[in-house]
Chains A and B, each alone.
Chain A
Amino acid sequence: MDSLSNGAAAATIATRTTPITTTPAPPSSKLAHLTESLKLEHQFLRVPFEHYKKSIRADHRVFEKEMSAVISGVTEAADADVSKDDAVHHLSSLVSKLQGLKRKLEGGSRIENLQAQRCRARLDHLESADAENLTDWNNTRLKRILVDYMLRMSYYDTAAKLAESNNIQDLVDIDVFQEAKRVIDALQNKEVAPALAWCADNKSRLKKSKSKFEFQLRLQEFIELVRAENSMRAITYARKYLSPWGATHTKELQRVMATLAFKSNTECARYKVLFEPIQWDFLVDQFKQEFCRLYGMTLEPLLNIYLQAGLSALKTPYCYEDDCTKEDPLSQDNFRKLALPLPYSKQHHSKLVCYITKELMDTENPPQVLPNGYVYSTKALEEMAKKNNGKITCPRTGLICDYLDLVKAYIS
């Protein structure tokens, strides 16, 4: 009976002492940790920068194109014999064209200023991380990671709500993903036009990374023509849009051309699959990959990367036992399932956690051994002894002994 009430008392200590577990680590290691974790923030700075760069490039292209048009317009007028009225008309149209260009560039420059501001806001945010007071900053980081995940999964409403309610719009890439949303929505409606327009917009960079996304879009369009039994148009389409890829992607081209011999209801597995709606899902996935690569994002959501790393670092054989503490995320089924294919962590040195206080037992709070071989932290045992006139009760076996019967254990 006595042992029971003492067990309860021991557990009380556990609940009462847990809040104090975070004894401050030496500041230098804190700072080192912070520096290391800031190095993971490449995407955070890169994405708004790519966005900015993209606008700069686009504006310059517009300038070059329109300006050349104006100049060649003037040259044409000078070469041709035109009436005065025509010349006046022609030149005035060029002047208004220039005015249009000017307005366009002014608008572009306003956008670029906003984008530059965003780049700077992110730099400032990284700079504001203070090793001594990281709680808020870390909370914001978690929210950033969640918004990133939701944007990639197309949960735009939740992403926007989370960003707005925390006032972190400048720290997440909602507007960048607006561009992706248009293309993805269209692909889900089996329309390729916006995706093709996107490819045209980013032609040079896609070419550089040897992307075949455009080819895949073209193949799908071709398949749709075959599905509609519009063979003649399909052939014309193939001549125009597929043949340029022939040299580098012969196999795929041949396979898709062979569908002309089959109908969309073919049972031949090799070709049947090309007509299946899942091809559109592949295109969406493919687009997401290309999109992330172009903006310098990781191909996997940040959430998955961090979660995987965290679960690997936390995973021990003990996590899967029934008495795993609730504070360990791996005590929950959902996390256990996610961690299943991940490696276990490795320890080179013993890490002992006191059963009673859940605190780490180290040189400051060394482990002590009861006569029955059970080990608890000095802090917990001292407190228990103080409350019970020097008597110790083992919370797991009920053994009662004297505080003086304890021996130290040296664990390296």
Chain B
Amino acid sequence: MELTTIKDAFDRVNKKQKLSSSKSQEVIDQVGREIEQALEKIQSADDPTSPFDQKSILTDLVLELNAIDPLHQLEGPQKELNLNLSKYQKLLERFFNPDISKAYRNVDFDLHIVNQILASHFYQEGLFDLGDSILNEAGEPEATVLKSQFLDMHQIIEAARLRNLEPALKWASTNREKLKQNGSKIELKLHQLQFLDVLQKGTRADAVIYARTYLAPFYSLHKKEFQKLMCCLLWAGRIGSAPYPEITSPSHWENLTEELTREFCSVLGHSYGSPLGVAISAGIEGLPTLLKLVSVMSAKKQEWQAMKQLPVPVELGKEFQFHSIFVCPVSRDQGSEENPPMLMPCSHVLCKQSMMKLSKSGTRSFKCPYCPAEISVGQWRQLYF
């Protein structure tokens, strides 16, 4: 990247600044010395009544100082410094985009909403004092409910990190129905980890008691796991050598925090990643395209502020695809309820309107625009993504 060029330019600025600053020190010393010398001469002058001598010393000093010309001495280094300063600034403007607000639409974000978003971001990340602090400084009401939810989550996760599963298990049993709806296996997983822990540290009898009390209810839904877990009893005290790495692998503990966070957020109706983080990353990926778009549009004197839809696609990474969007390859229209995607027997897909056009409103067969297949009337069906 061109960063090395920029770094070099900055080093030059820095060098010139140091040069100029040492030069000014030098000049100050020089002038100071001259004055001190004159001072000494005046003080050591023999005849106190002769003003002439003192006067000539002072006149000499003036001449001397004029010869030194301190301001002029600094001109050179200053000029070079200024040159490098403006060079560096121009370099920054050339390599970077000097105004990334060009694509900004002049709509003011509601301050309260933004502050609430920030506070919940901090809470979700477990930075509770920052969340409180910003609400306090912004004079916003406290978000007690949200905070207590995330506080619970972080306490449970912190405990789990220290291999204390009690809080997590308690939470899982309270939210059993919701977790079941989400198809989550987290409760079984927690009991499984706890059971193996008992087996490793305690006696076989303890483990059997644990299994009877807590694992038995899972038998009907998870027979296979249950059987494997019970077989682990044979390897009590040396779980690591049991032939079920999918159950006994220590990676289960490592992944537990992430899994718990995911399940917890899902039960709360929250996203796993901070929505603010997701939106900002999308913005960073999308902004370069938007900036280019704006510069093209302003060159053509087109209006940017009022558009209902962006005129060009902003490509974002896979992680930002949350919805299925069908775009008809013929008409380039986005699929909708009135104009849904239709599958032809040759497996190509068009939108309904394009299909109607090609088939003259469903009255005659036509050739698929993408392959030689002949499509007769009524051979198509609607798709649901």
Q: Which residues of A contact B (CB under 8 A)?
A: 8-12, 14-15, 18-19, 21-23, 25, 33, 35-43, 45-46, 49, 52-53, 56, 59-60, 63-64, 67-68, 70-71, 74-75, 77-78, 81, 84, 87-88, 91-92, 94-95, 98-99, 101-102, 105-106, 108-109, 112, 116, 119-120, 123, 126-127, 138, 141-142, 145-146, 149-150, 153-158, 161-162, 165, 296, 298-300, 302-314, 316-319, 324-332, 334-335, 337-338, 341-353, 355, 358-360, 367, 369, 372-375, 396, 407-412
Contact = CB atoms under 8 A, between A and B. Distances in A.
A53 to B, nearest CB: 6
Contacts of A312: 286, 290, 310, 314
Contacts of B14: 116, 120
A78 B271 contact: no
A95 B114 contact: no
Scoring B25, B107, B109, B278 by chain A CB atoms within 10 A of each residue's CB, the highest score goes to: B109
A8 B383 contact: no
Contacts of B320: 313-314
Interface of B: 1, 3, 6-7, 10, 14, 17, 20-21, 24-25, 27-29, 31-32, 35-36, 38-39, 42-43, 45, 48, 51, 54-55, 58-59, 61-62, 65, 70-71, 74, 78, 81, 85, 88-89, 92-93, 95-101, 103-105, 107, 109-111, 113-114, 116-118, 127, 129-130, 133-134, 137-138, 180-185, 258, 262-263, 265-266, 269-273, 275-288, 290, 307-314, 316-327, 329, 332, 334, 336, 343, 347-349, 370, 381-385
A410 B307 contact: no
Given A142-B277, A316-B325, A410-B347, A56 B101 contact: no
Contacts of A38: 1, 96
Given A95-B39, A165-B127, A349-B327, 14 more contacts: A8-B183, A22-B319, A39-B97, A46-B92, A109-B21, A112-B21, A123-B6, A165-B130, A309-B284, A310-B284, A316-B323, A344-B309, A351-B323, A409-B383
Which 10 pairs, one residue from A and one from B, show the smallest C-beta to C-beta distance? A310-B283, A11-B183, A313-B286, A306-B283, A329-B275, A310-B282, A42-B96, A328-B322, A78-B58, A309-B283
Contacts of A332: 271, 275
A337 B110 contact: yes
A98 B70 CA distance: 12
A105 B25 contact: yes
Given A307-B279, A314-B322, A355-B385, A345 B270 contact: no
A329 B329 CA distance: 29
B287 A305 contact: yes
Contacts of A360: 318, 321
Given A21-B319, A109-B21, A307 B99 contact: no
B323 A353 contact: yes
B205 to A, nearest CB: 33
Contacts of B45: 84
Contacts, number: 398
Nearest to A337: B113
A306 B280 contact: yes
Given A326-B271, A343-B309, A94 B35 contact: yes
Contacts of A324: 322-323
A314 B316 contact: yes
A138 to B, nearest CB: 7
A35 B20 CA distance: 35
A305 B107 CA distance: 11
Given A22-B319, A78-B61, A352-B324, A326 B312 contact: no
Given A346-B313, A351-B325, A98 B279 contact: no
Contacts of A306: 279-280, 283-284, 287
16 contacts: A41-B96, A78-B55, A120-B7, A153-B111, A158-B130, A161-B129, A309-B284, A309-B286, A311-B283, A318-B324, A319-B322, A319-B323, A326-B266, A326-B270, A329-B279, A351-B323
A395 B307 CA distance: 38
A318 B321 CA distance: 12
A324 B321 CA distance: 12
Given A56-B85, A102-B28, A42 B97 contact: yes
B343 to A, nearest CB: 6
Given A40-B100, A310-B281, A334 B310 contact: no
Contacts of B258: 19
B271 A348 contact: no
Contacts of B24: 59-60, 63, 105
Contact of A98 (B35, B42, B287): B35
Given A42-B100, A308-B104, A410 B349 contact: yes
A309 B279 CA distance: 9
A95 B181 CA distance: 85
Contacts of A165: 127, 130
B101 A338 contact: no
A36 B288 contact: yes
A307 B283 contact: yes
Given A21-B318, A74-B65, A304-B104, A145 B280 contact: yes
Contact of A56 (B74, B81, B324): B81
B285 A313 contact: yes
Contact of A138 (B275, B281, B322): B281
A33 B326 contact: no
Contact of A67 (B7, B31, B313): B31
Contacts of A42: 92-93, 96-100
B133 A161 contact: yes
Contact of B313 (A149, A307, A311, A347): A347
B370 A412 contact: yes
B88 to A, nearest CB: 7
Contacts of B383: 369, 373-375, 409
Contacts of B59: 78
A204 B31 CA distance: 30
B322 A102 contact: no
B318 A23 contact: yes
B54 A373 contact: no
A306 B383 CA distance: 36
Contact of A353 (B109, B127, B322, B382): B322
A142 B280 contact: yes
Contacts of A12: 183-185
A158 B59 CA distance: 62
Scoring B35, B138, B262 by chain A CB atoms within 10 A of each residue's CB, the highest score goes to: B35
B283 A84 contact: no
Contacts of B101: 298-300, 305
A161 to B, nearest CB: 6
A145 B287 CA distance: 15
